[in-house]
Structure 1
């Protein structure tokens, strides 16, 4: 390390520890920053299945391990600040800013710990970290990576939204569409830069070696054509639109090969989606296996990804699919998918929510090509790898922390 350079001490905040896109992005970025030599600590707003993986990267704390808010806590809040908010917290202790007396003490302990460590800056993985940032009270420069579009931003707790709008530090949008939405809610345009999500570049040869395992787990035959999607099974990601489109793909006269479809993920609509395809007699053709630890082996086996989101600032799964060699079909005008497909020639756009047009494009794409698109994987790896994104973000963080920080071996 050059003389005079200090190691950047970075507190990485994640609003959750589940397998959705934002926590997985935070995990991968933290891994890369540690590899680059930064001194990293991690604060998770709540516990989740990814906690052991975060803990394997860097020391990890949980901000709210068991949200609770009783009459004593409500009394304290009424005396100190907001009687109306106290009543809301009694009804829903998991709301932002609803901290019990014990949770306040826990936050004070965490704040003392991070001050003693000497943190230089905070990276917040979404706008949903605002309550943690305020209540920990470290008075550090913050880089917030906003992964929400206008509907989600407008639905934020007003204090979270005000924290985002009223700050003077930099804010990152994940797409140009996200940047426009931030300006519309009042964030100064000069504060906003665009940094899309990133994903790990997979070992495609290693994924090919898992092909037989994937086929066995999903009940595929070697010659089956596979269409995939992934995400939380619900309205926003368009699980119902996925089924609508796939049903139309399967309706024409039988093809020489069998077409299969799979949605990877969990969510409120999972059982309803399973019931719908079972009612159609297609439970063995349209699969909803639930959440999986790693989507990339299935995406490598797939020939197409369907992105059916109603609104999504930049679906990370498009990057993962492209890095695995699968192009995407997405609805136009719904967010960052349009930008990704245009930038990397990574698939096709169809009119918003027109599942008939999506089905027609699926049939055309399957007729025109077969197997992974290795050229697409190479194009996307050049710009959307975690390594490239982490390096760009480190530039922002160094600017925030007031100088160039070097790297040393992290232990």
Structure 2
């Protein structure tokens, strides 16, 4: 869409290093170079990815800059005047921006829609949440969205089914577009990253690495990851294995490390914290363990599959089984830790099976979940919502 056709306003609720924020950042990067849409972003909070969003396009924030005085006033609940002044200035700016479409990147970002009621334009909501996450942010966000009767993009059929069954969203307003990731070409240098990662963690060349990734919380099943590690290490004397979890806050990592010391597993289970080079860890890993109790369609699953790692997940986790389909890993029933441990053991014992499943996963990402194809599909939805001619170049 050219500038004469107006601007798309993307809503990002926190600009943090999480799946939904990273997804939007990649999408905007593609739109900037491969489409004719004019867009800008409104971020709900000042997250660590905000500078990267600003490198892609214009970014405003729903909250004032968190300088010391504002943080103190907010803690004292005396920031209303400053917040109101900031929002008044923001409203004036957005009114002048000729916004023709609001694209909310998550249910959580719907909290900004009430403020944006002065923008009378269509709304698209890209739903990255299943019901547990929706309940955590507040189901009232769905009601805020429904005031605008948006079109929804669901990242998996599990997400779409939750919207239509639990929240009675008409199926004709819900479209499934699976998650997607960049598909880089790996160089020989990148293929040798695993040695440096093993040195960093303190693991020799022989042991196998079972990897997990995400924030340290109940929903991501960090406790299940440790329980599976306990079971596999107990049973797996012949093939030494190390478990490595990437992600989590500094406090969460420290808590888990203390827990592992009490269990006597600190030398076999490693919580390495948040990393910018996650791909390097996937390159070193042999198996990816997706222990989430709820996960709509995790991008880390696709990124792990790109590195030809077989994946083990639960059948009730969300969208992951829709990707695996029993050829790229194993789907374990009903959060059964013993059966998940069995599948890890089976993969550890069969390098040939690991290789076959890993290759199937990588090919599936390349053919079905490539950034350029997925982003173009979303660009088409935006064009349709704006009433652009069918088949017109985006």
Determine if the alignment matches structure 1 residue 229 to structure 2 residue 212. Answer: yes
Match of 2:16 in 1: 18
Determine if the alignment matches structure 1 residue 163 to structure 2 residue 163. Answer: no
Determine if the alignment matches structure 1 residue 102 to structure 2 residue 102. Answer: no
The answer to whether the Cα contact below 8 Å between 1:239 and 1:273 also exists between their aligned partners in 2 is no
When residues 237 and 65 of structure 1 are mapped into structure 2, their CA distance, relative to the original with a 3 A threshold, is farther
When residues 63 and 348 of structure 1 are mapped into structure 2, their CA distance, relative to the original with a 3 A threshold, is same
TM-score norm. by structure 1 comes to 0.85
CA distance in structure 1 between the aligned counterparts of 2:332 and 2:268, rounded to whole angstroms: 24
Deviation at 1:113, TM superposition (A): 2.1
Q: Which secondary structure does the structure 2 equivalent of 1:352 belong to?
A: helix
The more displaced of 56-65 and 46-55 is: 56-65
Deviation at 1:6, TM superposition (A): 5.7
Which residue of 134, 149, 155 corresponds with 2:130? Answer: 149
Deviation at 1:39, TM superposition (A): 2.3
The answer to whether the Cα contact below 8 Å between 2:244 and 2:271 also exists between their aligned partners in 1 is yes
Match of 1:120 in 2: 100
Match of 1:172 in 2: 153
Deviation at 1:158, TM superposition (A): 5.0
The answer to whether the Cα contact below 8 Å between 1:22 and 1:125 also exists between their aligned partners in 2 is yes
Listed as ranges, the matches of 1:265-284 within 5 Å are: 265-267=247-249, 269-284=252-267
Determine if the alignment matches structure 1 residue 355 to structure 2 residue 337. Answer: yes
When residues 289 and 119 of structure 1 are mapped into structure 2, their CA distance, relative to the original with a 3 A threshold, is same
Match of 1:129 in 2: 109
When residues 227 and 113 of structure 1 are mapped into structure 2, their CA distance, relative to the original with a 3 A threshold, is same
Determine if the alignment matches structure 1 residue 301 to structure 2 residue 281. Answer: no
Q: In the TM superposition, what whole-angstrom CA distance separates every residue of 1:221-243 from its partner, at most 9, and x where no partner exists?
A: 22221110101101000000000
When residues 113 and 151 of structure 1 are mapped into structure 2, their CA distance, relative to the original with a 3 A threshold, is same
When residues 225 and 103 of structure 1 are mapped into structure 2, their CA distance, relative to the original with a 3 A threshold, is same
Q: Which secondary structure does the structure 2 equivalent of 1:305 belong to?
A: strand
TM-score norm. by structure 2 comes to 0.88
What is the RMSD of the two structures over their aligned residues, measured on CA atoms?
2.7
Match of 2:28 in 1: 30
Determine if the alignment matches structure 1 residue 403 to structure 2 residue 393. Answer: no
CA distance in structure 1 between the aligned counterparts of 2:229 and 2:316, rounded to whole angstroms: 21
The answer to whether the Cα contact below 8 Å between 2:122 and 2:148 also exists between their aligned partners in 1 is no
Where relative contact order (Cα < 8 A, 6+ residues apart) is larger, the structure is 1
CA distance in structure 2 between the aligned counterparts of 1:352 and 1:274, rounded to whole angstroms: 28
Match of 1:339 in 2: 322
The answer to whether the Cα contact below 8 Å between 1:201 and 1:323 also exists between their aligned partners in 2 is yes
Provide structure 1 residue ranges, at least 5 long, that are not aligned to the other structure: 69-89
Determine if the alignment matches structure 1 residue 286 to structure 2 residue 269. Answer: yes
CA distance in structure 1 between the aligned counterparts of 2:88 and 2:49, rounded to whole angstroms: 25
Which residue of 303, 307, 314 corresponds with 1:320? Answer: 303
Q: Which secondary structure does the structure 2 equivalent of 1:283 belong to?
A: coil
Q: In the TM superposition, what whole-angstrom CA distance separates every residue of 1:141-200 from its partner, at most 9, and x where no partner exists?
A: 221011111233244435422123343221111111111111121222221111122222
The answer to whether the Cα contact below 8 Å between 2:293 and 2:316 also exists between their aligned partners in 1 is no
When residues 298 and 192 of structure 1 are mapped into structure 2, their CA distance, relative to the original with a 3 A threshold, is same
When residues 65 and 294 of structure 1 are mapped into structure 2, their CA distance, relative to the original with a 3 A threshold, is farther
CA distance in structure 2 between the aligned counterparts of 1:191 and 1:296, rounded to whole angstroms: 36
CA distance in structure 2 between the aligned counterparts of 1:236 and 1:158, rounded to whole angstroms: 17
The answer to whether the Cα contact below 8 Å between 1:8 and 1:406 also exists between their aligned partners in 2 is no
CA distance in structure 2 between the aligned counterparts of 1:266 and 1:21, rounded to whole angstroms: 13
Deviation at 1:399, TM superposition (A): 1.1
CA distance in structure 1 between the aligned counterparts of 2:5 and 2:191, rounded to whole angstroms: 39
Match of 1:390 in 2: 375
The answer to whether the Cα contact below 8 Å between 2:102 and 2:122 also exists between their aligned partners in 1 is yes
Q: Which secondary structure does the structure 1 equivalent of 2:243 belong to?
A: strand
CA distance in structure 1 between the aligned counterparts of 2:146 and 2:273, rounded to whole angstroms: 37
Listed as ranges, the matches of 1:64-79 within 5 Å are: 64-65=63-64
